[in-house]
Structure 1
């Protein structure tokens, strides 16, 4: 899995980069056919926003989350993506 990390009005520190890699590795446990991930971390006034686009076989999954804390926004983003990836996996196994 290839992770591309972009920051808008946010400096991507090494700890933030490592946190994103650890969290996204949890998605691979549920579905191993994730090709690449594009994560955008941004700051808009007082809201920290995290959004991600995942390319999997035959689909593209997008989720967005915002919070006052960047780490909490990433956690909420991972929860949303986890549900969508599991739903995509179940849809593929039924067909």
Structure 2
């Protein structure tokens, strides 16, 4: 998985980069088909921090954003939203049928 962390009007420290990567480890447990992730950290107004994430999965692109007072709280809320979206995408793609006709095939021995 390729991870890109950028900052708009904000210097991205090593601590922020490490915090984002540890939080994304939880997301990668649920979806093994993550191709790339781009996280953008920015300041909107005084005291407001905005975090956006673009996740490129096999067959789907997810975009999540959140605004909070604290940067670390914004990252936590973003990862919770992203986790729910990835699980929802995974449930939609699960094929519950055993065979295309929907019933089991029985092979008779002669």
Fold match by TM threshold 0.5? yes
Flag structure 2 segments of 5+ consecutive residues without an equivalent: 97-110
Which residue is 2:72 aligned to? 71
- Runs of 4+ aligned residues of structure 1 deviating over 4 Å after TM superposition are none
Greater Rg over alpha carbons, structure: 2
Flag structure 1 segments of 5+ consecutive residues without an equivalent: none
How many residues are aligned here? 95
Structure with more helix by fraction: 1
1:70 CA drift (Å): 0.2
Structure with more strand by fraction: 1
1:20 CA drift (Å): 0.4
Write the distance in 1 (CA, Å) between the matches of 2:76 and 2:95: 29
The C-alpha deviation readout for 1:19-64, integer Å capped at 9, x for no partner, is: 0000011101111110100100000112100000000011000100
Helix, strand or coil at the partner of 1:11: coil
Which residue is 2:10 aligned to? 10
Write the distance in 1 (CA, Å) between the matches of 2:64 and 2:58: 17
